[in-house]
């Protein structure tokens, strides 16, 4: 099976066609994937926020391995705000970029204490003002804590890849991809469809070796059809 690592329909993207396919795509995702929550482990909004910040350039599993010790040592924003950076670095080193992440999560904790009474704010503007919390981080936090609020759609590497291959966007820019998806997907589904696209990306829509034939969305996927279609239509040789 040929490898198709990315689909960028820059010249052939048809917004009208994407709009016609989005509902059956969502129905297929609903049938295939029931889970609509992040794979990150957390017990409260503070833990989720810090975990999402640390998840940049690493896997959720890696973050989940280091957070139990981190939150046992620093269970509240006030505790983390007063933490020794060297101790935090040692605890989160497996996640990579640990010095930058240490500065971000300590700075975030301080901002929570100083400006929000130790509570995680509920608006996009307030969340993105926190150190280390860009729009993607804010979208993940809001989608998991306050779903259905019409905040936006978080775009990680899996959402980007699957939406490109499904020809739902012609862009490679996460902000533009988010806008394209928000234009296609009803606001009430902004919180859960990205989770299902992530599961699709971790499954048949793998980055390097996609299983087009086994994909439940093949019927609505131009990329998969471009690979599998000719093989399906080719007549079998007579023995």
DSSP 109-135: HHHHHHHHTTPPP-SHHHHHTSTT--H
CA gap 202, 209 in Å, rounded: 11
DSSP state of 239: -
- ∠ at Cα 159 (200, 220), nearest 5°? 55
What distance lies between CA 175 and its chain's CA centroid? Answer: 13
- How many other CB atoms are found less than 10 A from the CB of residue 60? 17
156 catalytic residue (yes or no): yes
The residue from 17, 93, 101, 156 that is catalytic is 156
* Closest-CA residue to 178 (of 186, 169, 187, 191): 169
Residue 97 in contact with residue 56, Cβ under 8 Å? yes
* Structure tokens belonging to residue 185: 């997907």
- Dihedral sign, Cα of residue 223, residue 229, residue 230, residue 231: positive
Place of tokens 């016609």: 20
The residue from 101, 111, 136, 196 that is catalytic is 136
Phi, psi angles (nearest 5°) of residue 230: -60, -35
30 catalytic residue (yes or no): no
Place of tokens 């060297």: 86
Place of tokens 């509920």: 122
Active site residues: 136, 156
């Amino acid at each position: 099976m040929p490898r198709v690592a990315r689909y960028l329909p820059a010249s052939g993207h048809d917004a009208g066609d994407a709009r016609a396919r989005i509902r059956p795509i969502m129905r297929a995702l609903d049938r295939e994937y029931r889970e609509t929550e992040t794979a990150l482990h957390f017990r409260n909004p503070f833990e989720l926020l810090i975990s999402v910040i640390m998840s940049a350039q690493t896997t959720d599993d890696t973050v989940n391995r280091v957070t139990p010790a981190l939150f046992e040592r620093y269970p509240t924003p006030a505790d983390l705000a007063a933490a020794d950076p060297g101790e935090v670095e040692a605890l989160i080193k497996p996640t990579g970029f640990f010095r930058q992440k240490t500065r971000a999560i300590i700075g975030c904790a301080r901002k929570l204490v100083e400006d929000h009474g130790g509570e995680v704010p509920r608006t996009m503007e307030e969340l993105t003002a926190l150190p280390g919390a860009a729009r993607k981080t804010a979208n993940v936090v809001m989608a998991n804590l306050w779903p259905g609020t019409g905040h936006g759609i978080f775009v990680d590497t899996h959402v980007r890849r699957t939406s490109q291959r499904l020809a739902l966007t012609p862009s490679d820019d996460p902000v533009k991809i988010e806008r394209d998806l928000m234009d296609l997907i009803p606001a009430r589904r902004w919180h859960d469809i990205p989770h299902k696209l992530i599961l699709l990306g971790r499954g048949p829509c793998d980055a390097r070796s996609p299983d087009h034939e086994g994909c439940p969305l093949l019927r609505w996927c131009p990329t998969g059809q471009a690979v599998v279609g000719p093989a399906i239509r080719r007549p079998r040789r007579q023995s």
